[in-house]
């Protein structure tokens, strides 16, 4: 699979998802991911993860919102649901009172003034399709391979894999397995968006292991690289998360202790 990037000049007054998909379309794709930072959302509509219900092992809180919120960083997976453009987005921002918040951003969210800065990455040769997962009863993106004519352009980057990590799988082990199967000796996590069953991470300031309260914690950003040591891939992953209380956490993930909750959308790219 190959990727191609472009800057999306976001404009106030139009849905965020609509504008991001327009940029994807200009790149000849309907699937990919976006990284967004700076500027404002106005309005912002969102939720945070919540406890189990009779039907689901995890759920969402009631819808929350701000007339204006100052964006710090956002991750977006872009694809289709029932044939129409769709997005899955987790972000963190500052509220009007300066409080740092985060959550799952709903489709009605719009850029404010000034608008955020967005870099959109299109994927060629695969598609993200959203459907309701029978196990969790949550909407999830699943990648499917497709054969298309890929643009012949110098900016295209080869050797990219997109993968859905299933509930219960540890994110560190899943990343290493993706790299083993792809034959990647050096790689970087280009996008990572989903949820963990709580979370266990190292507080860099104190060196202590800390946990985020479950049953689900939303991942805003996953950052790390993979390198091969003595024939085996190794990785260190840093993560920004928001728990069910709306509290934002950050640290280095403890390997083997961060199973996926509903889903995880992972993009890995070979280095070198």
- Per-residue pLDDT at 149 exceeds 60: no
Q: What's the predicted TM-score (pTM) here?
A: 0.94
| Predicted pLDDT at 151 | 55
Structure tokens belonging to residue 173: 């082990």
CA distance 8 to 46: 22
Q: What is the DSSP letter of 166?
A: P
The torsion defined by the Cα of 181, 186, 188 and 189, in degrees rounded to 10, comes to 20
**For 214-239, what is each residue's pLDDT tens digit?**
889 999 999 999 999 999 999 999 99
| Predicted pLDDT at 74 | 97
- Per-residue pLDDT at 104 exceeds 90: yes
Supply φ then ψ for residue 252, to 5 degrees. Answer: -95, 125
- Per-residue pLDDT at 155 exceeds 70: no
- Mean pLDDT (whole number) for 148-177: 80
Q: Is 196 helix (H, G, I), strand (E, B) or coil?
A: strand
């Amino acid at each position: 699979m190959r990727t191609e990037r472009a800057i999306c000049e976001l404009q106030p007054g139009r849905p965020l998802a609509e504008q991001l998909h327009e940029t994807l379309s200009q790149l000849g794709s309907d699937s990919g991911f976006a990284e967004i930072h700076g500027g404002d959302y106005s309005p912002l509509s969102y939720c945070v993860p919540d406890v189990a219900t009779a039907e689901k092992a995890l759920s969402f809180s009631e819808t929350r919102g701000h007339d204006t919120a100052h964006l710090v960083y956002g991750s977006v997976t872009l694809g289709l649901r029932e044939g129409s453009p769709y997005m899955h987005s987790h972000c963190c921002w500052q509220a009007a009172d300066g409080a740092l918040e985060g959550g799952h951003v709903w489709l009605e969210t719009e850029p404010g003034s000034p608008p955020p800065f967005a870099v959109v990455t299109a994927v060629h040769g695969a598609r993200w399709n959203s459907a309701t997962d029978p196990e969790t009863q949550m909407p999830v993106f699943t990648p499917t391979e497709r054969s298309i004519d890929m643009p012949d352009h110098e900016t295209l980057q080869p050797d990219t894999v997109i993968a859905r990590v299933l509930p219960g799988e540890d994110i560190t082990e899943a990343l290493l397995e993706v790299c083993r199967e792809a034959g990647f000796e050096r790689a970087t996590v280009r996008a990572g968006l989903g949820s963990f069953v709580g979370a266990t991470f190292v507080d860099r300031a104190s060196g202590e292991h800390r946990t985020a309260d479950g049953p689900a914690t939303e991942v805003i950003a996953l950052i790390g690289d993979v390198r091969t040591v003595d024939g085996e891939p190794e990785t260190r992953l840093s993560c920004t998360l928001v728990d069910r209380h709306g509290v934002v956490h950050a640290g280095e993930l403890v390997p083997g202790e961060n199973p996926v909750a509903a889903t995880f959308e992972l993009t890995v790219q070979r280095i070198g």
